[in-house]
Amino acid sequence: MTAAANAEWLRSKGLLQAVGLRDEWYDVGAGGVSVRLVPAVHRARPMPHRPNAANGHLIRSTDHTVVWAVGDTEMFKAMGDLARWAGHKLTAALVPIGGWGPRLSQGHLDPEEAAAACALADPDWVLPVHWGTLHLPGGRRIPRGWMDRALPAFRDALARVAPRSRLITLRPGERWKQPSA
């Protein structure tokens, strides 16, 4: 599920199941889960051979669980409107806290900016993503350990600027279940 222009391009390349969404909620199957696109700002590296529509997603269930899948983005004011768009407080956010190199290009959140995004959106739980898993072989010119620095920096920033949001930390392959109230 993506922006309409992206879905049209994907279908033209043979991915016939690509669904283009507009600014409304869409039911996903029969389980009471729905999804809608939300803004993202990721214009730093336009691709001339395909559409460049960027977006995040809000995913909600009938029990008022709301997850914000942030996607690649930089900060934008409307992050504070997510709960209103969802119709309920955000339960969790999947927030990128790093990138593909030791320096981030525009259209990405560093650990401090990711914490500021959490302060605006105010999710109960935050799962940092986009860090710690890409270790390039032969990357001698890349500072050692750069992919692992984002989590401690984000943990500190989150505690400072969005202390109501609780951190979820998972290793690759681990699962998490929201604790009962």
Q: Range of 59's domain?
A: 25-134+143-167
Q: What is the pLDDT of residue 42?
A: 77
Selection from 31, 84, 25 nearest residue 59 by Cα: 25
Tell me, yes or no, whether 16 lies in a domain: no
Strands (E) in 80-177, as ranges, are: 92-96, 125-129, 166-167
Residue 72 in contact with residue 107, Cβ under 8 Å?
yes
Q: What is the pLDDT of residue 149?
A: 83
Please provide residue 65's backbone torsions phi and psi, each rounded to the nearest 5 degrees. -75, 130
| pLDDT tens per residue, range 98-122 | 876 666 777 789 999 999 999 999 9
Q: At what angle do helices 111-121 and 150-161 cross, to 10 degrees?
A: 40
Selection from 107, 109, 85 nearest residue 96 by Cα: 109
Residue 153 to residue 172: CA distance in whole angstroms: 19
pTM, full prediction = 0.84
For range 7-15, the mean pLDDT: 80
Q: How many domains does the chain have?
A: 1
Number of helical H runs and strand E runs in the chain: 4, 9
Q: Which residues contact 32 (CB under 8 A, 6 or more apart)?
A: 61, 62
Residue 39 to residue 146: CA distance in whole angstroms: 29
Residue 68 to residue 82: CA distance in whole angstroms: 8
Residue 33 in contact with residue 66, Cβ under 8 Å?
no
Tell me, yes or no, whether 153 lies in a domain: yes
Q: What is the pLDDT of residue 102?
A: 63
Q: What CATH number corresponds to the domain at position 128?
A: 3.60.15.10
| pLDDT tens per residue, range 132-147 | 776 666 655 666 666 6
In whole angstroms, how far apart are CA 38 and each of 1, 56, 140, 145?
A: 12, 5, 38, 33
